[in-house]
Amino acid sequence: MTKLSVNINKIATLRNSRGGDVPNVVQFAKDVQRFGAEGVTIHPRPDERHIRYQDAYDLKSEVYTEYNIEGNPIEKFNAMVIKVKPTQVTLVPDAVDAITSNAGWDTIKHKDFLIDVISEFKRHNIRTSIFVDPDLKQIEGAKATGTDRIELYTEEFAHQYSLGNKKAIQPYIDCAQLANEIGLGVNAGHDLSLDNIQFFKENIPGLLEVSIGHALVAESLYLGVENVVQMYLHKLS
C-alpha cells in the first residue's frame, strides 16, 4: 500500500495570514493522523512564510506516524533536521523566492554536495529522499549520492493529465522501474489530487509514499478533512 503523507503548509499559511494560532498546525497534524493519514509533511522555507522552524520542533512529539521534513539543505535547515530527527528528510532545491517547488535536483551536477549532506543525515539515522524530475539520468545520479529514496516531481504529469494526456505517465513509470531495479525507494508529490491520484498510483510500480498538501486542503474546504483523507486512502489502496 502507498502511504499518504499530508503536507500541512497551507494550514500554516492560513494561520499566519491572521497573525494568531488559528488554525493550529499541531492540532491539524494530530487530526489528519487520527483520520488515517500515515504521515505528516512540512516544508519550512527561510522566510517562514508558512511553516515556521518552531513548528518543526512543536510537531516532533505529536507526529507518531511518518514525519517528513522537506526543504533546501541550507545550514539552518540541516541543523534543525538533525535536532528534530524526523523519519525522513526530503531535499528540495527550491530558490529562496520560489512560491512553490518548481524543479528537481540536477543530481549529476550537485553530486558531491548531495553526498555530503546525505551522509550527514544518515549518520543521524534519518532516512533521505531527493526531489527529482522524471529523468532516467537523474535517477542514476541520485543512486550515486547514497540517498535512500527519490521523490518524483509530478507537476507535469498532473498538468498533462488534466488535459486528457494519460501518456504523460510514461516517464514516471520508466523512472520508478529503474529506481526499483537499482534499490531506490520511490515517493512522489506535487499537484497530485483526488482527480489523478488513483491513475498515478495504479501505474507507478513500487510507489511507497505520496505527499499531498495544496489539493488536499482545497478539497477539504468542500468535502471535509476527514472525508478527504479517507477518499485518498481508498484511492491509494
Question: Which domains, from first to last, does the chain contain?
Answer: 3-236 (3.20.20.70)
Concerning whether 219 is annotated as a catalytic residue, the answer is no
Q: Give the pLDDT score at 1.
A: 86
Contact between 151 and 133 under an 8 Å Cβ cutoff? The reply is no
Give me the phi and psi of 111, to 5 degrees please: -55, -50
Instruction: Please identify which of the residues 66, 190, 209, 219 carries the catalytic annotation.
Output: 190
Instruction: Please identify which of the residues 43, 50, 209, 219 carries the catalytic annotation.
Output: 43
Concerning whether 140 is annotated as a catalytic residue, the answer is no
Concerning whether 43 is annotated as a catalytic residue, the answer is yes
Distances (CA, A) of 194 to 103, 154, 187: 23, 14, 17
Q: 188-215, pLDDT tens digit by residue?
A: 999 999 999 999 999 999 999 999 999 9
- Beta strand pairing status for 3-7 and 207-212? parallel
Instruction: Please identify which of the residues 38, 66, 70, 151 carries the catalytic annotation.
Output: 70
Average pLDDT estimate for 164-190: 98
Model pTM? 0.95
